[in-house]
Chains A and B, each alone.
Chain A
Amino acid sequence: MLAETPVDLSPPVGEVARTRPRRARRAAGAWPYLLVLPTVAGTLFLLVYPLIRSVVISMQHFRIGELIRGGAPFVGLDNYRELFASHDFWAVVVRTVWWTAVNVVLIMVISTLVALLVARLGRRMRLAVMSGLVLAWAVPVLAATTVFQWMFQSRLGVVNWLLTTIGLDRFDGYTWFANGTATFVILVLLVVWQSVPFAALTLYAGLTTVPDELFESARIDGANARQVFRHVTFPMLRSLFGLITSLEIIWVFKCFAQIWAVSKGGPSGATTTLPVYAFQVAQSLHKYDLGAAISTVTVIFLLVVLVPHLRHLYRSEGAQA
């Protein structure tokens, strides 16, 4: 999906659905096929066809000339060979893995802590924190990018003022966006800030489904907070943790809007991840073939992350059908 909309979390609550009366569905001739026809057609034209087209273009010589004239020749795996021989590409791959790992680890750790915290708060404080999370979640990506750019602005930005006030004088007028590492850090903060609300709220909602008796009996047995988490909370929510982690990996890995709006992959490539790289190579250099090859590599990676999740969905669907 394009953004972090609530997703189907049926695996953790799949049991509920299974109790639905079977006789709800009736055989109905051609009707169901007519009803799903527009969905299938739309998906074929705007999802399956572009995916296939992407793979085809990645095996053609498709530059600006072919874009205008048409008739791109088939070149087999030449584009992939060129890609895998390029130093830039591997630098981007390493950076993308690093980018994904840093973000996802921070998101999962912070969200888990926030979820556990919310569960321990009093009624009023819990409502306040959850409202704050919903507020941050609601902020559109592009509005968040502008305000982060404003907060980290060199001369008037509130972050530099704060850092200077607490005695870090080297941040007086520091230009964050001129430095690769600093820009990377800001983008991580931005993505983590935007992703934690969804993960924390979902984990908290999952936490509330764990029966209190389990925590109580663990505590009576003398378990401390860490042991309770390791031996009760985590095992109970294992599939939810797995689901959220894989979703976050996907979202962070394919993240484009934030990076493009803030830095366009710069300065000097310091924030260029695979999706950004694919777009740069295609749109700026007009190497649509190489761009498509990079996109295809991205899709394959995402598929690998998704396979366990899809298998799970399919199996719980199989139990129902």
Chain B
Amino acid sequence: MRRARTLPYNLAAVVVLVATVFPVYWMVVTAFKPTTDINAATPQLVPLHPTLEHFRDAIGVDGFWRFWRNSALVSVGAVLLALVVGLMGAFAVARMRWAGRKGFILMVFIAQMAPWEALLIPMFIIARDTGMLDKLSMLTLIYFVATLPFTIVTLRGFLASIPPELEEAAQLDGASRLEAFRRIVFPLLAPGLMSTALFGFITAWNEFAFANALIVKNQDNRTLPVWLSSFSNVFGTDWGATMAASTLFMLPVLVIFLVLQRRVTGGIVAGAVKG
């Protein structure tokens, strides 16, 4: 009786599962197939002759490591900046009372919703006027400011979950405010900082529009997503290498998501982002 009732649900679940997973599966599987199998008239669902040749091709392409390094530099730089500055802001909001606090929070909320893509043109002109065009530092700064609101909102939630009495007790015992923060709050905050940093990293790592618009002449300063978007110029119709490059681009993000999975699936509403 129960089985008969759950069967349609399980069938629907299988459909959902296939629809969500298949594109990812197909990307990875194609990357591991030899070119002759990719070009076979009937697609093979499973790679019968797995090979690493496409990964060698993708990595061997002139500039792959440079673009990889560019992306890593820009993303890590933006995240570190956002963490330091965001933590300062979050602390001021969560732990201090001051005139303008509410206005600041509202500004952060609005900034979080800001239509960044609509700023491509003025940003291009500003970058050009200030000599920041084609510079990775410009991208770093933009990603930093773009991930900042999310960082502040999230860290504020984490800070709010740490009882201020802990710091107060430390201060009563003679610790300075900074010391109390470093010794008491910081260790408790570490998981929050970690997940916030990883989400920021993903955002910066994936960003395309600004990287595409602001790196114009100096093609060596392109980031991975922009490079990948021109795959047909790089790889032609070599779909194996294109899928291998896409897989390599996806890999860091996937690892991060695996690390964060519990927070992602369970904590979106209740945990990570409470007021």
Contacts and interface: CB of A to CB of B under 8 A. Distances in A.
A278 B121 CA distance: 8
B275 A16 contact: yes
B148 A8 contact: no
A197 B114 CA distance: 22
Interface in B111-136: 111-126, 128
A306 interface: yes
Contact of B118 (A1, A209, A283, A295): A295
Contacts of B9: 117, 120-121, 125
Across the A-B interface, give the 6 residue pairs with the lowest CB-CB distance, nearest first: A17-B275, A138-B257, A257-B208, A35-B92, A142-B225, A32-B92
Interface stretch (A50-58, A87-95, A96-104): A50-58
A28 B98 contact: yes
Interface residues of A, number: 116
Nearest to B42: A161
Contacts of A51: 119, 122
B70 interface: no
Interface in B164-190: 164
Q: DSSP majority for the B interface?
A: helix
Contact of A135 (B6, B21, B92, B110): B21
Interface of A: 1-3, 5-10, 12-14, 16-18, 20, 23-28, 31-33, 35-36, 38-40, 42-43, 45-47, 49-51, 53-54, 57, 62, 67, 114, 117-118, 120-122, 125, 128-148, 150-151, 153, 156, 158, 161, 193, 196-197, 201-202, 205-206, 209, 240, 250, 254-257, 260-261, 275, 278-279, 282-283, 288, 291-292, 295-296, 298-299, 302, 306, 309-310, 313-314, 316-318, 320-321
Interface of B: 6, 9-10, 12-13, 16-17, 19-21, 23-24, 26-27, 30, 38-39, 42-43, 85-86, 88-89, 91-98, 100-102, 104-126, 128, 141-150, 152-153, 160, 164, 199, 202-203, 205-209, 212-213, 224-225, 228-229, 231, 239, 242-243, 245-247, 249-250, 253-254, 256-257, 261, 264-266, 268-270, 272-275
Nearest to A200: B16
Contacts of B20: 129, 132-133, 135-136, 193, 196-197
Nearest to A56: B122
20 contacts: A2-B207, A5-B150, A26-B96, A36-B88, A36-B89, A39-B85, A42-B85, A46-B141, A129-B17, A135-B257, A138-B202, A139-B24, A143-B228, A153-B239, A193-B19, A201-B268, A298-B118, A310-B109, A310-B113, A321-B101
Given A57-B125, A139-B24, A146-B246, A257 B209 contact: yes
Nearest to A316: B275
Nearest to B91: A35
Given A143-B250, A291-B121, A67 B98 contact: no
A273 B30 CA distance: 32
A146 B243 contact: yes
Given A14-B275, A117-B13, A136-B21, A147 B243 contact: yes
Nearest to A279: B120
Contact of B122 (A6, A57, A158, A316): A57
A256 B186 CA distance: 38
Given A1-B150, A161-B43, A31 B96 contact: yes
A33 B203 contact: no
A2 B200 CA distance: 10
Contacts of A53: 122, 125-126
Most chain A CB within 10 A, of B145, B243, B272, B275, is at B275
Contact of A1 (B38, B106, B203): B203
Given A9-B268, A31-B96, A36-B89, A156 B209 contact: no
B58 to A, nearest CB: 12
A310 B105 CA distance: 11
Contacts of B212: 257, 260
A316 B202 CA distance: 29
B152 A39 contact: yes
B254 A138 contact: yes
A38 B89 CA distance: 8
